Amino acid sequence: MEYRKLGETNLEVSAITFGAWAAGGWMWGGNDDNEAINAMKAAYDLGITSIDTAPIYGQGKSEELVGQAIKDIARDKVQILTKYGMRWDLAKGTFGFKSKDNEGKDLDVYKYAAKESIIKECEDSLKRLGTDYIDLYQIHWPDDSTPIAETMEAILLLKEQGKIREAGVSNYSASQMEEAEKTIKLASNQAPFSMVKRDIEADIVPYCIEHHKGILAYSPMERGLLTGKMKPGQQFGEGDHRAGLKFFKDENIERTNAFLAKIKPLADEKNATLGQLVIRWTINRPGITVALVGARNAEQASQNAKAIEIKLNDDEMAFITGELDKVHLIN
């Protein structure tokens, strides 16, 4: 495994980090708890020492499973990355969206990052995770109802208390990062980035490179699209959020698969799967520190971890990116 420092901090994370959203089951049509725990353990055994989660993932369930998966590992050998600022248990802040929980009950999700809410959220996360500190604490989404300074003052307090090591943001714009840094030094921004979703290359990537911030790329496999296993007419289970996304329109699946067919010979040459080639390309991109990759079971987790073994030279990176530049998905 490769380990990289987040920004200018001393926090080292694995270049491939376990993304534990699906572990919570929520918005993924459910999940098997034991399989999720085994996936995290298998990832750790292959050098993936960092796990990214959030309270909203399964309304606490993902964090609890992370806590179970790491309970027998020395605390300083694993990095816990979690978030705050999305509440499902009170109606305050900026309304986010309507959803359903794992039992099918209606759920209203709010973006709320006021000081007293963050202090409570941190305590709840620490309990669920079974730890006394969080390595990277990230605001999940911007909250328009709370001044960024108030949010970051709470994070500064938590850092002073030793409850968190470093402060991060997620889904923040460059200007929001700049505002946050008036109060606290940020380690990173967690942002959506994949071969077919490269919007952040316009502003977030240049900003983070210039200001020495890490970028944690989430959904680098575009929720399974880039495995090459999706086919037109793909059916998703009830409660699976992918059903409504543009990436899974039949025409976009066809266009993506046509691109993947062009790079498959390179994957074959490297004795790698398409997924592994995608992960390696992602962590080789300028400014990208980490790829957050989920896994449903130990086998998937092992496959993801082995992506680190692939090496891509400049010509191979240019070939992949050149083919990508020809792909145009419809909205």
Residue ranges of domains in the chain: 3-224+274-311
- Which neighbouring-strand residues pair with 63? none
- Residue 100's pLDDT band (boundaries 50, 70, 90)? confident
In this structure, whether the domain defined by 3-224+274-311 belongs to CATH 1.10.274.100 is answered with: no
SS3 call for 127: helix
**Beta-carbon neighbour count of residue 208 at 10 Å?**
24
Ramachandran category for residue 185: left, alpha or beta (phi over 0 → left; psi -120 to 50 → alpha)? beta
Amino acid 30: pLDDT: 64
- What is the average per-residue pLDDT within 230-239? 85
pLDDT for 191-231, tens place per residue? 999 999 999 999 999 999 999 999 999 999 998 899 989 99
Amino acid 28: pLDDT: 62
Q: How far apart are CA 215 and CA 208, in angstroms?
A: 7
Average pLDDT score, the chain:
95
Amino acid 152: pLDDT: 98
Residues classed as catalytic: 57
Q: Using an 8 Å Cβ cutoff, are 1 and 15 in contact?
A: yes
Q: What percent of the chain has pLDDT over 90?
A: 88
CA-nearest of 171, 158, 162, 154 to 54 is 171
More confident: 290 or 228: 290
pLDDT for 128-167, tens place per residue? 999 999 999 999 999 999 999 999 999 999 999 999 999 9
Q: How far apart are CA 282 and CA 111, in angstroms?
A: 29
Please report, as a single letter, which amino acid is at residue 308.
I
- Residue 241's pLDDT band (boundaries 50, 70, 90)? confident
Q: How far apart are CA 211 and CA 156, in angstroms?
A: 20
CA-nearest of 166, 138, 133 to 151 is 138
Res. 31: pLDDT tops 80: no
More confident: 30 or 324: 324
Res. 273: pLDDT tops 70: yes
Amino acid 27: pLDDT: 64
Res. 317: pLDDT tops 90: yes
Res. 26: pLDDT tops 70: no
